[in-house]
Amino acid sequence: MNKQLLTPRQALAQEVRVWMSRAGMKQSELAELLGVSLGAASRKYNGSSVFTFEELLAIAGHMDISLGELLGAGILNARIPKSEVLVGNGKGQKNAPVGFIPNGASYEVALVDSELKTQSNRV
Better-predicted residue by pLDDT, 85 or 21: 21
Neighbouring residues of 30: CB distance < 8 A, sequence distance ≥ 6: 20, 41, 44, 45, 59
Whether 70 is covered by a domain: the verdict is yes
Give the global pTM.
0.63
Give pLDDT tens digits for 9-50.
888 999 999 999 999 999 999 999 999 999 999 999 999 999
CA-to-CA separations, 114 to 11, 17, 35, 85, 101, in angstroms, rounded: 11, 15, 32, 31, 18
Whether 87 is covered by a domain: the verdict is no
Range with lowest mean pLDDT among 10-14, 48-52, 69-73, 116-120: 116-120
CATH number for position 20: 1.10.260.40
Domain membership of residue 20 as a residue range? 8-80+96-111
Q: What per-residue confidence (pLDDT) applies to 96?
A: 52
Whether 122 is covered by a domain: the verdict is no
Whether 120 is covered by a domain: the verdict is no
Q: Which helix (H) or strand (E) holds 100?
A: strand 100-103
Number of domains in the chain: 1
Whether 33 is covered by a domain: the verdict is yes
Whether 28 is covered by a domain: the verdict is yes
**3-state secondary structure (DSSP) of residue 84:** strand
Chain-centre distance for alpha carbon 72? 10
Q: Phi first, then psi: what are they for 97, rounded to 5°?
A: -60, 160
Average pLDDT over residues 46-55: 94
**CB environment 2-31: b (16+ within 10 A), e (fewer):** eeeebbbbbbbbbbbbbbbeeeebebeebb
